[in-house]
Homo-oligomer: A and B are copies of this chain.
Amino acid sequence: MTTAEITEELRALLEAELNGIVSSRDMPLYGMMSYHMGWTDSGGGPVSKTIGDRAHGLLCLLACHAAGGDIATALPAAAAVELVENFCRIHDDVQAGNPRRDNRDSVWWVWGPAQAINAGDGMHALARLALFRLTQAGVPPTVTVRAFRLLDEASLRACEGRFLDLEAQEKIDLGIEAYKDMAHQKTGSLFSCSMNLGALVATYDEDDNSDLLEAMATCGANLGVALQMHQDLLQLWGDDDGDVPDASPDAMNKKKLLPVVYAFDKASVGEKRRMGEIFFKRVLEPDDVAKLRGIIEGLGVREECGEMVNRYRSRALEVLESVSLSSDGKKQIQQFADDLLK
């Protein structure tokens, strides 16, 4: 099988696990979750198009496979992290007022913010319940408790990151170190948890798996930061299709995207003042975003941001060289990382 075929097979297994968890309970609350996950339309009817990257769940499964573990055992862990990520997305959309997600109306846009908060809270609890399936898959209670701890620590750190991200909207000049800290918490921690959990489930009965777990955790953390930086670039310049967004909703929300933070670092006093004037406005208009993009491009930081993404990507993959993994497993992780950062 090609790497792409393997990823597709893993995706199908993960999807079945996720679907089994969400549809195990019967109530319109879970209808909102099914909609968010892309399985139904807002009326509850089936949809055929696959949406959602499932990157957290897939990286958990790929880490398990590369570490020589059994995919079936890792499925509950993969589903759990994926559900935590998706609960965060549901709440993020409420918090940022994003009307759209995956080219569809976001949950709060369809059901209102109050019920969207419930959908997120429910998915947060459901993520934990998903993890109990580990014991059914034969994982001993001590390891299950450890898995819970990894998931809960990561959930809390992701929440801390979301706090910092929101707080940064009110700041003018964030600073690149503060940005990196925030990205580590917000995006790095859950990716780190995904790969850590996958490797833990694969190797818990081995004598010394601590180097392996640490390498996987570091790989995930760096990959997460690379992905957040990459997505920040897409917010301003679109993807390779030349599909440049007129007005990035994140930029209009005064989110401190990497290029914005970087530009402040490099700007002269005059350019800083021009950017400051834009961010002093209570609400940004599409015009302001265009102005901001112009200043940033003038400073030439776009390329440097791209290099920074590459550095994090390299760090993520290099750390895997220090531990023993199946060569095809490692290749699959590399391929997945490349696809993610395309």
Contact = CB atoms under 8 A, between A and B. Distances in A.
B156 A129 contact: yes
A297 to B, nearest CB: 30
A125 interface: yes
A95 B163 CA distance: 19
Contacts of A141: 140-142, 144-145
Contacts of A122: 156, 159-160, 163
A70 interface: no
**Copies of the chain in the assembly:** 2
* Chain A, interface SS category: helix
Contacts of A124: 121, 124-125
A156 B129 CA distance: 9
A76 to B, nearest CB: 13
A141 B143 CA distance: 9
Contacts of A135: 145
Contacts of A148: 128, 132, 145, 148
A157 B160 CA distance: 26
Interface string A116-133: 011011101110110010
A334 B338 CA distance: 63
A164 to B, nearest CB: 8
A119 to B, nearest CB: 8
Interface in A138-171: 140-142, 144-145, 148-149, 152-153, 155-156, 159-160, 162-164, 166-167
A166 B114 contact: yes
Contacts of A25: 156, 160
B118 A28 contact: no
Interface in A91-126: 91, 94-96, 113-115, 117-118, 120-122, 124-126
A269 interface: no
Given A25-B160, A27-B163, A121-B162, 17 more contacts: A25-B156, A91-B121, A95-B117, A95-B118, A113-B113, A115-B163, A120-B121, A121-B121, A122-B160, A124-B124, A125-B156, A128-B155, A129-B156, A141-B141, A141-B142, A141-B144, A145-B148
